[in-house]
Amino acid sequence: MKILCVFGRYDYGDPLRGEGYEFRNFLPGFEMLGHEVIHFDSWDRRAYRSFAELNQALLDCVETHCPDVLFCVPLLYEIWLETLTVIKKRTPVKTILWCTDDSWKYREVSRHIGHGFDQVVTTYPHILSCYHRDGIFHVILSQWAADAATLHAPLPAAQCRYPVVFVGAAHGDRKKKIRQLEKMGIPVQTFGYGWKSGPVPGNQIPQIIRSAQIALNFSNSKGADQLKARTFEVPGAGGFLMTEAVDGISAFYAPGREIVVADSIQEMGEKIYHYMKHPQERDRIAESGFERTKKEHLYFHRFEKILDGLSTLTASPTAPCDDSLHPLDRPVSFCHKPAPSCDGPFIPSDSPLRQCLNDAVSAHQTGRGLVMLKNMVVTPAALVVGEKRAKRFARRIFHEIGWRFFGRKLFTASGWPGRMFYHES
C-alpha cells in the first residue's frame, strides 16, 4: 500500500525546533508494516507563498504519486476542506485524520474538519461521544505509542549519566513544576524548546531518556490533562518513567510495576527520592515497562489496526507491499530511511485536480478590507510586544473568532485567518 503522510518535518514547521514527533515516529511505523511512504510537508511555510499554493501542491502530489491512503495531521487550517472534497470525489484515495490534543482541539478544529475525511482517529475515549453528537461516526479510538526503531533495553541505574531529566517543550506550567522540584532539592536536567539547553535532535532524545535514572512526564500543556506520547516514548527507549496521574493510564501500564505515577508534584518529589535510594527497584520497573511497550505499544501496532479499519471503506482492500514477516517478527533495530518528499509542483497548472480547486483559489484573496482589519490589531500590538509577536497575537485572535462564529468556514479557502496570515501562523 502507498501512504501519503501530510504533516510537518519540523516541530511546528520550524527547522530551529528540530524534527517533529510525527515525522520521527509515524513514517517508520508505516514502513515497518511494509508500506511505501511518501511525505508531504504541510507545516513548513517557506516552501510556498500562500495556503493556495500549498493546497495546489498537495493535489499535484496526489496526482503524481496516486497513493492509496492520505494520512493527515493538521496544525490548524492549512489543508482546505475544498481540497479534501476534490480528493474524495475525483480520486480513489482514502483519507485519514489523526487528531492531536482533542482534549481542547476538538472544539476548535477536529469537529469542523472531521466530516472531510473518510476516517478520523482520536486518542481520547471521552471525546468519541462528542464526535457522534456532531454527526461524525467514522471515528475510531487509538493512542500514542513508541517507535520500534528507538527500542533499547534499560540501563541499570548505576550506569546512567543523568539523575532526573525532562525532555519536552517548556509549555504551560512546566517551568513552575520544575522549579517546585528544585526547591525540594531535586535538580532536573531539561531538554527542549523553551529551556536553556534548547531543542535537541530527535535521534538524541531516546539516548537522553535511556541515560537517566528517572525521566519525568507532565500530563498537561494546554486544556485538560492528557495521556502524552512521552508516556510510551520513555519506556520504549529504555527509560524509567515517572509521570503525573491522568485518566486511562492504567489501561496501558501497571502503576508501580511498569511505570510510576504521582498525584502531585510533592508526591513526585518524594517518589524521586525513594527510587534514587532503591536502584534495584527502579531497574525492575524500567525493565517491565520496556517489555510491555515492546509487546503492545509500538506504532506499527496502532497503525495496523487503523488500516484494518480503513479496509472496510475500500472496495478492494490492498495488501501490504511486503507481508513475508509479521511486524512482531521484524528486527527491532529497523533503520528508518528518509521517506521521499513531495514538495511539488510536479503537475502543470492545468492539471485536472488543480482545475477543480480554481474557485477555492479565487476565494483565497486577502483584499483591502482584510488588510485594514489585520493592521487595526497588529499595529497597536506591535508597539507593545514587537511586530513578530503582534502578528502571532492577531492571528490567534482571528482564529478564536473564526472557530466560534464561522465554524467550518474557517477551514476553507475563504477563512479569514488563512487569507490574512501565512508566515505568522
- pLDDT per residue over 116-150, tens digit each? 999 999 999 999 999 999 999 999 999 999 999 89
Segment 169-192 mean pLDDT = 93
Which residue, 88, 78, 86, 75, is CA-closest to 413?
A: 78
Name every residue whose Cβ is closer than 8 Å to that of residue 312 and which is 6 or more positions away in sequence: none
Task: Give the whole-number percent of the chain exceeding pLDDT 70.
Answer: 89
| CA separation for the pair 201, 262 (Å, rounded) | 29
Task: Report whether 136 contacts 112 (CB < 8 A).
Answer: no
Work out the end-to-end distance of the chain between its first and last CA atoms, rounded to an integer number of angstroms: 33
pLDDT tens digits, residue range 56-65?
A: 999 999 999 9
Which residue, 31, 34, 29, 71, is CA-closest to 300?
A: 29
Give me the pLDDT at residue 293, please.
98
Burial of 184 (0-12, 13-18, 19+ CB in 10 A): middle
Give me the pLDDT at residue 341, please.
54
Give me the pLDDT at residue 345, please.
41
Task: Report whether 341 contacts 35 (CB < 8 A).
Answer: no
Structural domain spans, the chain? 2-146+298-361, 152-294, 365-420
Segment 70-93 mean pLDDT = 96
Other Cβ atoms within 10 Å of 333 Cβ, number: 9
Give me the pLDDT at residue 336, please.
34
139-141 sheet: strands from edge to edge: 36-41, 2-7, 69-72, 94-98, 119-122, 139-141
pLDDT tens digits, residue range 207-252?
A: 999 999 999 999 865 555 678 899 999 999 999 999 999 989 999 9
Give me the pLDDT at residue 322, please.
35
pLDDT beyond 80 at 92? yes
Residue position matching grid coordinates 504541510: 42
Which residue, 256, 22, 324, 287, is CA-closest to 151?
A: 287
Q: Is 2 helix (H, G, I), strand (E, B) or coil?
A: strand
Task: Report whether 40 contacts 107 (CB < 8 A).
Answer: no
Shared fold status for 2-146+298-361 and 152-294? yes
Give me the pLDDT at residue 171, please.
84
Cα 26 to Cα 73, 293, 341: the distances in Å are 10, 16, 15
| CA separation for the pair 234, 242 (Å, rounded) | 9
Which cell numbers hold the place of 220? 498537561
Segment 164-180 mean pLDDT = 92
Mean pLDDT of the chain: 88
Give me the pLDDT at residue 342, please.
53
- What's CA 349's distance to the chain center, in Å? 32
| CA separation for the pair 22, 109 (Å, rounded) | 18
∠ CA(404), CA(76), CA(16), 5° rounding?
140
| CA separation for the pair 106, 132 (Å, rounded) | 12
pLDDT tens digits, residue range 278-325?
A: 999 999 999 999 999 999 999 999 999 999 988 776 443 333 333 333
Residue 199 Rama label (left phi>0; alpha psi -120 to 50; beta): beta
Give me the pLDDT at residue 235, please.
97
pLDDT tens digits, residue range 340-359?
A: 555 444 444 556 788 889 99
Which cell numbers hold the place of 145? 505509542
Segment 89-103 mean pLDDT = 94
CATH of 2-146+298-361, one of 3.40.50.11260, 3.30.2320.80, 3.40.50.2000, 2.70.98.20: 3.40.50.2000
Task: Report whether 39 contacts 3 (CB < 8 A).
Answer: no
What angle, 0 to 180 degrees and rounded to 10, lies between the N-to-C axes of helices 265-277 and 174-183? Answer: 50
Q: Which of the 8 DSSP states describes residue 79? A: S
Segment 321-343 mean pLDDT = 38
| CA separation for the pair 150, 162 (Å, rounded) | 19
The DSSP code sequence of 241-277 is: EEEE--TTGGGTS-BTTTBEEESSHHHHHHHHHHHHH
Name every residue whose Cβ is closer than 8 Å to that of residue 300 and which is 6 or more positions away in sequence: 29, 30, 32, 33, 148, 327
| 75-79, 195-199, 323-327: range with lowest mean pLDDT | 323-327
Strand partners, 281: none
- Classify domain 152-294 at the CATH superfamily level: Glycogen Phosphorylase B; (3.40.50.2000)
